[in-house]
Amino acid sequence: MNPGHIGYLVDRNARKFPTKEAISDHRGRWSYARLRQEVLGIVGGLCGLGVKRKDRVATLMTNRGELIVSYLALFRMGAILVPLNTRLADPEWEYILRDSGARWIITESMFEGRIARIRERLFQIEEVISVGAQEKGVIGWEEILTAPPMEEPPQEPGIEDELYILYTSGTTGKPKGAVITHQNFLWNAINGQITGGFKGDDVVYYGLPLFHAAAMGGCFATMLLGGKVVLRPRFDPVELLELVESERITRVPAVPPMLLAILEAPGLEKKDLSSLRAFNTGATTIPQSLKERLHERFPWVEITDSYGLTEATSYCTVLAGKEFLAKKACVGRPHAYVEIRVVDERDRDLPPGQVGEILVRGPNVMKGYWMRPEETEEALRGGWLHTGDLGRMDEEGYLYVVDRKKDMIITGGENVYPREVEEVLNSHPSVMEAAVVGVPDEKWGERVVAFVIPRPGIAPDPKELDLHCRDLLASYKCPKEYRVVEDLPRTSTGKILKRVLRERWETLGPR
């Protein structure tokens, strides 16, 4: 097994730290020796089912030890991981499975019923493996785990092979899969270790789901060095405080709403939080007032902000703790092996202070979009990832993100693309046309608001619209407010002016 591969970490760490804990979840604990044993068992079981190098295998699980075992097994055998967001609606899962060509799904019992409905329409799925299997026709994880272990899979993956395909929505509506290689993932982890601060003695809490690029990257940056990850299916601030005491957690990756919830958690003052040494945040610009509250309550804890993209395997910049308060609305400098430029519409470098598109280059940047050569060529033209985000650099080389991808909404750390929500609303019989924008929200950063033009003679019922959206979209994508309007502001070419809609909402105020 090539020691340069991510999957090799189980061999190296099982030799170096056989009894050291690698994973703790709500049900059990895995030493590095146990982790290797189970990974080799799952490799053997999956090979027995016919899974080969380059085959796509989807995972659909909450944070638990078996999810990391699944990841490492697929990495080791060269199969391509397709992580599914547990919060998506059935049609969204079906689209990703169909587009990626995934033929196997590894899941847990709580999702079996929904997967069964998808299988009725998606005949490509050969087998479903489930932890705690209950449905007929599903193979139990425990059965796969008892297969003869396989140390050397039939075909060893190459360092430039595809490691995973992570789907990210685009402004054109349908999600597209960012293809990340073994090399991309390894360099992303190295960036996290060198300039991101992850260490081998870290005990890192993950309430952030491991189907997101940043959480996955941080998790394996920790484990490559022999650290420990503490997993929970969902974030609970009170439970987190208890885990800091009991597990001696050192590092907490968290989006701003999670950090706010920690500050407001009951019993905060009574807990021994002395083991904490770092909060890692990102996903959206953190308000200065929250920065100050965090620093006041946790003066000994380093707080770092960052900017990243799925297409760059997550990490691009880091704003170190000593600069966290001084640099307002700043996301820091490029990571160790990342370059960043801010350019005009002709890809010419702009001087400090001028706003332009953010370009990223480094060994962490994706191979391309799955089965989308034209979009890949456009995104990676000239050897640089064109992010679509707007930003500016200051004289010291610090990056400030002015706006995210055009019209994108970030709510609670999740990305919502208005076009996707608009297409769902436009399919409702009472809607003539819909426009979706993000508006400020103290708790979630932004919330989704829909402006709807009704069909003649039909009055849209917000409750019906909400049920319609929830049938087809993840709950976090669904609008929190519906405004029925006679028309929408437009440019001379008919383009809807989202900026004007936001201004109208601010003038009228929330409902």
Mind listing the pLDDT tens digit for each residue in 60-106?
999 999 999 999 999 999 999 999 999 899 999 999 999 999 999 99
What percent of the chain clears pLDDT 90, i.e. is strictly above it? 72
Pairing, β 21-24 against β 228-231: parallel
Mind listing the pLDDT tens digit for each residue in 392-403?
999 999 999 876
Rg of the chain in Å (alpha carbons): 23
Q: What is the mean pLDDT of residues 440-461?
A: 90
Per-residue pLDDT, 332: 94
- Where in the sequence of the chain do the CATH 3.40.50.980 domains occur? 31-157
Instruction: Kindly indicate the confidence band of residue 5, based on its pLDDT and cuts at 50, 70 and 90.
Output: confident
Per-residue pLDDT, 313: 96
Mind listing the pLDDT tens digit for each residue in 226-239?
999 999 999 999 99
Architecture of the domain defined by 409-508: 2-Layer Sandwich (3.30)
The Cα–Cα gap between 205 and 223 comes to 12
The Cα–Cα gap between 204 and 212 comes to 16
- Where in the sequence of the chain do the CATH 3.30.300.30 domains occur? 409-508
Per-residue pLDDT, 130: 98
Q: What is the mean pLDDT of residues 173-192?
A: 92
The total number of residues shown for the chain amounts to 511
Per-residue pLDDT, 171: 41
Per-residue pLDDT, 298: 95
Mind listing the pLDDT tens digit for each residue in 370-429?
999 999 999 999 999 999 888 899 999 999 987 666 678 889 888 888 888 988 998 899
Per-residue pLDDT, 511: 62
Contacts of residue 435, Cβ cutoff 8 Å, sequence gap at least 6:
418, 422, 450, 451, 488, 496, 498, 501
Residue type, 23: I
Does 361 or 330 have the greater pLDDT score?
A: 361
Question: 127-131, 333-337, 444-448, 465-469: lowest mean pLDDT where?
Answer: 444-448
Domain 31-157 matching CATH 3.40.50.980: the answer reads yes
Per-residue pLDDT, 172: 46
Per-residue pLDDT, 1: 63
Per-residue pLDDT, 404: 63
Per-residue pLDDT, 13: 95
Q: What is the mean pLDDT of residues 146-165?
A: 92
The Cα–Cα gap between 284 and 259 comes to 12
Mean of per-residue pLDDT scores for the chain? 91
Question: Does residue 449 have a pLDDT over 80?
Answer: yes
Residue type, 50: G
Query: Which residue in 36, 35, 33, 37 sits closest to 25, CA to CA?
Result: 35
Per-residue pLDDT, 454: 92
Question: Does residue 199 have a pLDDT over 50?
Answer: yes
Question: Does residue 175 have a pLDDT over 70?
Answer: yes
Residue type, 191: N
Q: What is the mean pLDDT of residues 219-224?
A: 95
Mind listing the pLDDT tens digit for each residue in 97-114?
999 999 999 999 999 999
Longest dimension (CA), the chain: 72
Contacts of residue 297, Cβ cutoff 8 Å, sequence gap at least 6:
263, 268
